[in-house]
Structure 1
Amino acid sequence: MAKERDGFKSRTGFVLACIGSAVGMGNIWRFPYIVSDWGGMTFLFPYLMFVILIASTGVIEEMALGRAAKSGPIKAFGMCTELRTGKKRTGELIGMIPVLGSMALAVGYTVVVGWIFKYAFLALSGNLYTLGQDMGAIGGLFDSTATSFGNNSWLVITVLVTAVIMAFGIAGGIEKANKVMMPLLFVLFLGLSVYIFTLPGSENGYHYIFTINPEGLKDVRLWIYAFGQAFFSLSIAGNGTVIYGSYLSDFEDIVGSARNVAFFDTLAALLAAFVIIPGMAAGGAELSSGGPGLMFIYLLNVFNGMPGGKICGMIFYVCVLFAGMSSLVNLYEAPVETLQERLGLKRPAAVAVIAVTGCGAALFIQGIVSGWMDVVSIYICPLGAMLAGIMFFWVAGKDFAVEAVNRGREKKIGNWFIPLGKYVLVPAAFVALVAGALMGGIG
């Protein structure tokens, strides 16, 4: 008798988990910065175009691939090569790439979420507010945190919380956690954006967001960065979306699910922009830095100087914590599932092995996490997405791809899907890989 596989109990739970996977640091600390840096709607126009493209191809493809295989990338890729050549070994070996990439990204993300845990605690306890607008003290706090072995305790707490959620399984842990975290994240972010709207000076931020510069659209780099932001924001890398898709029922509509994930991921990014850019404008600050500096230094300075800033800081860092935790759980899931499938470990044992391994590696890379994340995001993530697209659209073939997507769907997907995936998505993933390597990262 085949062992019954864990899975999502509802479409809502699946969609919320996928939204949690997609909504991460890219939405909160990079999206507002890059929107500001490239001129508001001048950036948003191509960004939204690429979101539609990737959601209509890559997100659907990875969900369908995972569901068809009822497993993660290793078995899914093996299934594709078996359909083409009768042999699955080559596909399984290639499938190791996105699994290892997911683990490597999870290790780096663990470090970052450890920072967020610390700042959320300091915000809730009021200790961040006592720093005032002393940039020396604010910068010193972050410098002492983001250094070699500088945040050990909070990093361990991050791994423990992640492991507890994952040990309860897909329905009992991941689905339930995202059903709490994701609605709260949107409600809190919406409330924070409404408050920021009432602050004097915030109108300058909104004016900037909704300004479009036609000349800026002629810059090729703008389109490359917009594509990179959409590509990484929607979390297609041949791992997380594939593995979540593998837990989805055959009766669910994948196309509708992909549409919802893209919509709410974009909404989260826009809410972050509507909080950060007008907030910086209200505080009289220029949004001149992206990455960790924006969230842990410059924005903290703004919160500490605005009316109600203490509450704003609390809400903001709790929102960021939810975003970080939901993404981290997704990143660790592919390696956990691999140990379950390949070694026959029970889920708690697989979670324990991955948690210990991830925690140990994260502790040692704290001082080089920026470089670590750059390597993974520039090379391994787009490579994984490209390989998944090749396996689904090119290797497995049109008949398989169409059947996998249409399963559980009343209205069949249009004839545009296969050509768009084969001739646009896969080459675009290759462009992301090459452009990232040449430009030092595009997302």
Structure 2
Amino acid sequence: MERGTFSTRLGFILVSAGCAIGLGNVWRFPFITGKYGGASFVLIYLFFLAILGLPIMVAEFAVGRASKRSASLSFDILEPKGTKWHLYKYGCILGNAMLMMFYTTITGWMFYYLYKMATGGFAGLAAKDIGGVLGGLVTDPVTMTGYMILTVVLGFGVCYLGVEAGVERITKFMMTCLLFLMIALAVHSVTLPGGKSGLAYFLQPDFSRLAKYGANEVIFAAMGQAFFTLSLGIGALAIFGSYIGKEKRLTGEAIYVILLDTFVAIMSGLIIFPACSAFNVDPGAGPNLLFITLPNVFNHMAGGQFWGTLFFLFMTFAAMSTVIAVFENLVACICDLTGWERKSVIKLGTVAIIVLSLPCIFGFNIWSSFQPLGKGTGVLDLEDFIVSNNLLPLGSLIYLAFCTSRYGWGWDNFIKEADTGKGVAFPKWLRFYLTYLLPLIVLYIFVQGYIAIFGH
């Protein structure tokens, strides 16, 4: 089977960043930052992005590039004879599929809000009626299914065009638009009358705010956010490693991806926090920040329909960049595993993901009595828990162990691959940290995730 490649290095960096940039940056990051005290939380988050995210990302890229295969065959190719690392391919495929079982629904919400905002659907609504829009949407399985199908068909449609003509070209266009949209929205937000206090909250560290939740909880939240924003551990980034050449060392490429990812998260904050303070809205409003609080803000703003439409267009691009990247990974995994033709896999995959996405939608309405993780939870919470609290941290442990253990691919092979080409070398003195300390930090995140949900 002919393997796709990226035509440019910029394409690789933007598509990898597109995979990392998604609802984690533009939906989760602002409300978690709002909850845990603004700038002081951001500093802790950036610290963990560097010490947690970067080495695991380099490990994934290295495994992908050395094997020239997706996660479904990369371990088979690189593992020592007689070992069982290759069994994790099923964890990777499961992780990507489960992520899409709920991500497609929330991306569908973005399309719905984009449509509502562009057609003036929020104009003249009172605050409580805007809250009712999301309530109305989640109790309507037919509309949600329609928008979810639109998301899946568009995502796989881009993959159908191929790696270079589809995934690379369209993601490059979307990411470029995304960056320009963000800058325009941020400049507009920062200049709103009354926006200064929101800006200060977001940019001036005040560590006394952390006392409210306790250092342990805040540090755990920052670690978790650093981890989930990059989609580490399920081979979602390894696939793009398999598409690039050996001209550049991988540490520098990973730094670029993380810088872009962080830039988008920070810009989201610059858009949201000044707008919240200008209109007296609580930035710690949780997941509702995006779907209830912000439409309210746009309603009261001069030219609000225009800015609101741009905002939800940017949100849709951010979510779709991840959908396309993960679909591409799933397609490559199934093709590598079965030897089937790419286009056949895409047709089957479209139907499969649509069917698999239905439980998440029904969890809000038809199956709302099913509350798997306690009162008030639904199918979405269960799926997110399996991916975010289990597959991402455990998968990252496997990638780390594979790259550092003599029973796996091993440190020497990993360093040789990571440092092939020009650019920033991987710091070899980090060997002890990667082999013994980082796995303990990841295990801590894993255990804390369980305590947070089941320990109350």
Please give the range of the TM-score, normalised by the shorter of the 2 chains.
Answer: over 0.9
Given candidates 427, 433, 438, the residue that maps to 1:420 is 433
Give CA deviations for 1:176-200 in whole Å, capped at 9, x if unaligned. 1111011111111110110111211
**Does the aligned pair in 1 maintain the 2:59–2:400 contact within 8 Å?**
yes
Describe the shift of the 1:174–1:8 C-alpha distance in structure 2 as closer, same or farther (beyond 3 A): same
**Does the aligned pair in 2 maintain the 1:238–1:388 contact within 8 Å?**
no
**Does the aligned pair in 1 maintain the 2:99–2:387 contact within 8 Å?**
yes
Given candidates 4, 10, 13, the residue that maps to 2:11 is 13
**Alignment correspondent of 1:349:** 344
Q: Residues 250-269 of structure 1 correspond to what in structure 2 (within 5 A)?
A: 250-269=246-265
SS for the counterpart of 1:212 is: coil
Runs of 4 or more, structure 1, over 6 Å off, are none
Q: Does residue 287 of the first structure (1) align with residue 300 of the second (2)?
A: no
Q: Distance in 2 between matches of 1:410 and 1:316?
A: 36
TM-score by length of 2: 0.90
**Does the aligned pair in 2 maintain the 1:148–1:365 contact within 8 Å?**
no
Post-superposition offset of 1:135: 3.0
Q: Does residue 386 of the first structure (1) align with residue 397 of the second (2)?
A: yes
Q: Does residue 127 of the first structure (1) align with residue 121 of the second (2)?
A: yes
Describe the shift of the 1:55–1:219 C-alpha distance in structure 2 as closer, same or farther (beyond 3 A): closer
Q: Does residue 94 of the first structure (1) align with residue 88 of the second (2)?
A: yes
Where does the alignment leave 5 or more consecutive residues of structure 2 unmatched?
364-378
Q: Which amino acid aligns with 1:6?
A: G
**Does the aligned pair in 2 maintain the 1:124–1:314 contact within 8 Å?**
yes
**Alignment correspondent of 1:42:** 40
**Does the aligned pair in 2 maintain the 1:24–1:323 contact within 8 Å?**
yes
Q: Which amino acid aligns with 1:265?
A: D
Q: Distance in 2 between matches of 1:214 and 1:267?
A: 23
Post-superposition offset of 1:440: 2.9
**Alignment correspondent of 2:367:** none
Given candidates 99, 107, 112, the residue that maps to 2:101 is 107
Give CA deviations for 1:276-328 in whole Å, capped at 9, x if unaligned. 1111111111123222x111111111111122211111111000000100101
**Alignment correspondent of 1:249:** 245
Q: Does residue 435 of the first structure (1) align with residue 448 of the second (2)?
A: yes
Q: Residues 402-413 of structure 1 correspond to what in structure 2 (within 5 A)?
A: 402-409=415-422, 412-413=425-426
Q: Which amino acid aligns with 1:372?
A: E
Q: Distance in 2 between matches of 1:412 and 1:134?
A: 56
**Does the aligned pair in 2 maintain the 1:39–1:211 contact within 8 Å?**
no
Q: Distance in 2 between matches of 1:241 and 1:424?
A: 23
**Does the aligned pair in 1 maintain the 2:73–2:337 contact within 8 Å?**
no
Q: Distance in 1 between matches of 2:204 and 2:426?
A: 36
RMSD of equivalent CA atoms? 1.8
Q: Which amino acid aligns with 1:165?
A: V
**Alignment correspondent of 2:147:** 154
**Alignment correspondent of 1:330:** 325
**Alignment correspondent of 1:167:** 160
**Does the aligned pair in 1 maintain the 2:249–2:425 contact within 8 Å?**
no
Given candidates 101, 111, 119, the residue that maps to 1:117 is 111
**Does the aligned pair in 1 maintain the 2:18–2:175 contact within 8 Å?**
yes
Q: Distance in 1 between matches of 2:282 and 2:53?
A: 33
| Mean Cα deviation higher: 382-391 or 321-330 | 382-391
Post-superposition offset of 1:253: 2.7
Give CA deviations for 1:387-407 in whole Å, capped at 9, x if unaligned. 121112222111111111012
Given candidates 188, 193, 199, the residue that maps to 1:195 is 188
Q: Does residue 362 of the first structure (1) align with residue 375 of the second (2)?
A: no
Q: Distance in 1 between matches of 2:47 and 2:284?
A: 26
Q: Distance in 1 between matches of 2:60 and 2:140?
A: 36
| Mean Cα deviation higher: 135-144 or 184-193 | 135-144
SS for the counterpart of 2:422 is: coil
Given candidates 176, 184, 203, the residue that maps to 1:183 is 176
Q: Which amino acid aligns with 2:404?
A: F
Where does the alignment leave 5 or more consecutive residues of structure 1 unmatched?
none
Q: Which amino acid aligns with 2:183?
A: L
Q: Distance in 2 between matches of 1:212 and 1:410?
A: 33
**Alignment correspondent of 2:131:** 139
**Alignment correspondent of 2:298:** 303
**Does the aligned pair in 1 maintain the 2:251–2:424 contact within 8 Å?**
no
Q: Distance in 2 between matches of 1:375 and 1:352?
A: 26
Post-superposition offset of 1:333: 2.4
Q: Distance in 1 between matches of 2:380 and 2:140?
A: 9
SS for the counterpart of 1:403 is: helix
Q: Distance in 2 between matches of 1:334 and 1:275?
A: 31
| Mean Cα deviation higher: 300-309 or 16-25 | 300-309
Post-superposition offset of 1:222: 1.2
Post-superposition offset of 1:74: 2.7
Give CA deviations for 1:77-128 in whole Å, capped at 9, x if unaligned. 2234x32xx125x222122112211111011101111111111122222223
SS for the counterpart of 1:416 is: helix
Describe the shift of the 1:204–1:410 C-alpha distance in structure 2 as closer, same or farther (beyond 3 A): closer
Given candidates 338, 353, 376, the residue that maps to 2:387 is 376
SS for the counterpart of 2:141 is: coil
**Does the aligned pair in 2 maintain the 1:55–1:258 contact within 8 Å?**
no
Post-superposition offset of 1:133: 4.4
Give CA deviations for 1:4-61 in whole Å, capped at 9, x if unaligned. 4211111100000011011111111121112122222210111111111134301111
**Does the aligned pair in 2 maintain the 1:389–1:426 contact within 8 Å?**
yes
Q: Distance in 2 between matches of 1:78 and 1:147?
A: 45
Q: Does residue 400 of the first structure (1) align with residue 413 of the second (2)?
A: yes
**Does the aligned pair in 2 maintain the 1:205–1:281 contact within 8 Å?**
yes
Q: Distance in 1 between matches of 2:96 and 2:354?
A: 14
SS for the counterpart of 1:243 is: helix
Q: Residues 269-280 of structure 1 correspond to what in structure 2 (within 5 A)?
A: 269-280=265-276
Describe the shift of the 1:251–1:295 C-alpha distance in structure 2 as closer, same or farther (beyond 3 A): same
**Does the aligned pair in 1 maintain the 2:32–2:284 contact within 8 Å?**
no
How many correspondences in the alignment?
432
Q: Distance in 1 between matches of 2:294 and 2:315?
A: 13
